[in-house]
């Protein structure tokens, strides 16, 4: 076993914890739990693992400030994440939509904030704050959409003229969906390992079934909870296709090409084909895809504390550059 800790000025604390057998054992245990009882798996992740990872990240990035968002409408539950820096941008903001399969709430927003904002600090003096929307669970296509719309309207009322949406996994789906509608003139969107195809028919679901904690049984359970339809229902396939994100182009309401999306695809992720197929159907230049490959390239691995491979760092560098350009 070995443990190395490397301090990087541009990204603050990033730790590499190499023992692959430990990672494999952890993923195997999570797969067993998800297959035995998806409901228990959700509780374990929501109340145990995700909060623990959040606490760990808090110890690694002590310069990250968290403040509850005040003055929001009663239905909006959100918090601010920002670096302890003297200058903040009062007109630009990142709206982060956390993942968790639409049934739990992960706490990867703190890892996203610590690693991405630190990189942005090397590019600009005034940093955008990050507003994390803790939408109601289980999420619902229409209700969650209304929460996001109300949050964006509130941000506009606070003077934020430039809004970029970002999210991971289920939150990545919500971020991409919000951007595609373009009803709020979003500056850009970042989707980290997003679920984009609810039919669950892509080959990566089978190919990577043993390399990630996202088992087929859990993904079906999460889909049922979000869409409100059982997989055995005759209408399930049609409902899944209806809410999947299919595109042939990305255009604004004026008909001109919109700013591109930025999507992250992890090589060992069951959802990797979602991203690749989505990008293949898009117009040229409409989607930027960053691939995370090699060791520890499973679902949202780049947003887990203690995991920071070269491929992870490269993806984060590209993500920060995209956000810098869009904002």
Q: What is the pLDDT of residue 250?
A: 65
Whether this model's pTM surpasses 0.85: yes
CA distance 25 to 14: 22
* 176 Cβ contact partners less than 8 Å away, ≥ 6 residues apart: 189, 191, 194, 196, 245, 261, 263
- Is 230 labeled as catalytic in the residue annotation? no
> Over 80: is that where the pLDDT of 206 sits?
yes
Are 139 and 102 contacting, i.e. CB atoms less than 8 angstroms apart?
yes
Cα–Cα dist 266/312, whole Å: 9
Q: How far apart are CA 252 and CA 129, in angstroms?
A: 26
CA distance 77 to 278: 31
Give the whole-angstrom CA distance, residue 50 versus residue 9. 27
CB-facing half-sphere around the CA of 97: CA atoms within 13 A: 35
Q: Quick: pLDDT tens for 115-141.
A: 999 999 999 988 999 999 999 999 999
- Residue 4, pLDDT above cutoff 50: no
CB 124 within 8 A of CB 92: no
Is 205 a residue whose pLDDT tops 60? yes
pLDDT of residue 309: 86
Return the pLDDT at 13: 42
Looking at per-residue pLDDT, the higher value among 293 and 308 belongs to 293
Among 169, 211, 301, 311, the active-site one is: 169
For 35-80, the pLDDT digits (tens) are: 889 999 899 889 888 888 888 888 777 788 899 999 999 989 999 9
Which has more pLDDT, 288 or 64? Answer: 288
């Amino acid at each position: 076993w070995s443990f190395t800790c490397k301090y990087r000025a541009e990204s603050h604390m990033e730790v590499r914890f190499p023992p692959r057998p430990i990672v494999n054992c952890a993923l195997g245990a999570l797969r067993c739990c998800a297959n035995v009882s998806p409901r228990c798996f959700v509780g374990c992740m929501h109340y145990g693992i995700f909060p623990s990872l959040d606490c760990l990240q808090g110890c690694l990035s002590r310069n990250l400030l968290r403040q509850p968002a005040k003055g929001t409408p009663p239905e909006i539950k959100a918090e601010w994440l920002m670096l302890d820096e003297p200058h903040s941008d009062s007109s630009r903001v990142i709206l982060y939509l956390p993942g968790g399969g639409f049934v739990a709430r992960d706490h990867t927003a703190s890892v996203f904030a610590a690693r991405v904002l630190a990189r942005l600090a090397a590019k600009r003096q005034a940093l955008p704050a990050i507003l994390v929307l803790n939408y109601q669970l289980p999420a619902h296509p229409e209700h969650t959409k209304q929460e996001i719309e109300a949050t964006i309207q509130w941000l506009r009322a606070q003077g934020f003229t430039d809004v970029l949406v970002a999210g991971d996994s289920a939150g990545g789906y919500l971020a991409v969906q919000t951007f595609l509608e373009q009803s709020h003139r979003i500056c850009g969107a970042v989707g980290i390992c997003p679920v984009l195809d609810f039919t669950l028919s892509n080959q990566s679901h089978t190919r990577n079934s043993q390399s990630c904690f996202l088992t087929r049984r859990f993904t079906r359970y999460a889909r049922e909870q979000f869409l409100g339809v059982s997989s055995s229902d005759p209408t399930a396939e049609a409902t899944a296709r209806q809410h999947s994100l299919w595109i042939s182009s990305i255009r604004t309401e004026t008909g001109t090409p919109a700013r591109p999306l930025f999507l992250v695809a992890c090589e060992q992720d069951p959802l990797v084909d979602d991203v690749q197929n989505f990008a293949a159907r898009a117009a040229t230049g409409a989607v930027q895809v960053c691939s995370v490959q090699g060791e520890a390239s499973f679902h949202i691995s780049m947003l887990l504390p203690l995991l920071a491979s070269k491929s992870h760092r490269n993806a984060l560098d590209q993500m920060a550059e995209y956000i810098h350009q869009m904002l």
